[in-house]
Amino acid sequence: MKGEYIMLNRVLVTDGMDASAVAKLRADGCEVVEQFYEPDALGNALRDFDAVIIRSATKIKEPQIDAAKGSRLKLIVRAGVGVDNIAVKYAEAAGITVKNTPRASSNAVAELALALLFSCARNISIAGHTMRENKWEKKAYSKGFELSGKTAGVIGYGRIGRMVGAKCQALGMNVLSTVHRNKPEGCECETMKFVSMDELLSGSDIIILCAPGGDKALVDGESLAKMKDGVVIINVSRGSNVDEAALLDALNSSKVRAAGLDVWMSEKDPNWALAQHPAVSCTPHIGAGTKEAQKRIGAELVDIIENF
């Protein structure tokens, strides 16, 4: 294993990495270059590295892989859960291994989902905003709701979804989820059941998105029509899982009572009308943004590089 590790002696980090993890790789003899490249320049830059570590800001798709094909690049690592910003099969067909860190950030993302939910339930975001404008709007924002006894529909019951479900149950909530394959064992109980998607949509007071991004939005006009009036939407998964125009319309009509959003269709230029809506609590994709999660991610990245 030591000989294989030495082959990965030049590593590019494009979107930042925990300082202690960078120091560990350098202590192991790796040359670590921390630099962001624009998409047009990234592919050629990758040719000079054995491995690249990216987050969500960097995308390695077919053009970048074509430019790097046949070079020294052997490994792409996504510092996070989702790998939809990488053309995984295309990279692997070109002889480049793709890895991620699925465990390290799960709890941080799950906790943010609950933070956004609390904010939606008690109007924390808008109430705090008005107070910063020297307004005392107690009557307007004293019409929140309690989470205990409510039903949360968690779409995507992987590592993050299961943590969200467990935290919701600890708050006295009931949990519904759907499973298309690889049903997790030991989850179902009196307060957690797997149901059809239509049952989840119609039976949930709150919809929490924890699923990978796909070709079709999970929250769109069609699915919104099946939900309860006054439903709350939380998205800590991928921006593509929500049709932002449909959600904005549903907020304006009060079909959706409130939304908590950490991810966006465009992160450089998000839907500002949606972000500024008084019923929206929002953050700029900070799901994994805790000191603890970043240290865990860094340690997992080092382990991947060392054991490649």
Among 4, 31, 62, 267, the one annotated catalytic: 267
* SS3 label, residue 158: coil
261 DSSP β-pair partners:
235, 282
Q: Each residue of 118-152: b (16+ CB within 10 Å) or e?
A: ebbbbbbbbbeebeeeeeeeeeeeeeebebeebbb
Q: What is the mean pLDDT of the chain?
A: 94
Q: Would you place residue 6 in the very low, low, confident or very high pLDDT band (cuts 50, 70, 90)?
A: very low
Neighbours of 107 (CB within 10 A): 18
Helix axes 106-122, 291-306, angle to 10 degrees: 160
For 71, counting Cβ atoms within 10 Å of its Cβ (0-12 exposed, 13-18 middle, 19+ buried), the class is middle
pLDDT 10s digits, 76-129: 999 988 898 999 999 999 999 999 998 899 999 999 999 999 999 999 999 999
Write the DSSP assignment of 101-142 as a string of letters: -TTTTHHHHHHHHHHHHHHHHHTHHHHHHHHHTT---TTTT-
Among 122, 159, 285, 296, the one annotated catalytic: 285
Higher pLDDT, 212 or 136: 136
- Rounded to two decimals, the pTM is 0.90
pLDDT 10s digits, 260-275: 999 999 988 999 999 9
Whether 36 shows a pLDDT value over 70: the answer reads yes
pLDDT 10s digits, 224-263: 999 999 999 999 999 999 999 999 999 999 999 999 999 9
How do 206-209 and 192-194 pair as beta strands? Answer: unpaired
pLDDT 10s digits, 132-166: 999 999 999 999 999 999 999 999 999 999 999 99
Does 129 qualify as catalytic in the annotation? no
Residues 6+ apart with CB under 8 A from 185: none
Q: Would you place residue 173 in the very low, low, confident or very high pLDDT band (cuts 50, 70, 90)?
A: very high
Q: Would you place residue 7 in the very low, low, confident or very high pLDDT band (cuts 50, 70, 90)?
A: low
Does 92 qualify as catalytic in the annotation? no
User: What is the pLDDT at residue 3?
Assistant: 41
Does 238 qualify as catalytic in the annotation? yes
How do 192-194 and 151-155 pair as beta strands? Answer: unpaired
Quote the percentage of the chain above a pLDDT of 70: 97
Q: Would you place residue 215 in the very low, low, confident or very high pLDDT band (cuts 50, 70, 90)?
A: confident
Among 238, 257, 277, 296, the one annotated catalytic: 238
Among 54-58, 127-131, 136-140, 278-282, the least confident range: 54-58
Starting at the edge strand found earlier in the chain, the sheet holding 31-34 runs: 31-34, 10-13, 51-54, 75-78, 97-100
- Helix H, strand E, coil C: the string for 253-301 is CCCEEEEEECCCCCCCCCCHHHHCCCCEEECCCCCCCCHHHHHHHHHHH
Query: Cα dihedral angle (156, 160, 161, 164), rounded to 10 degrees?
Result: -150
The first and second tokens of residue 167, run together, are 């935290």
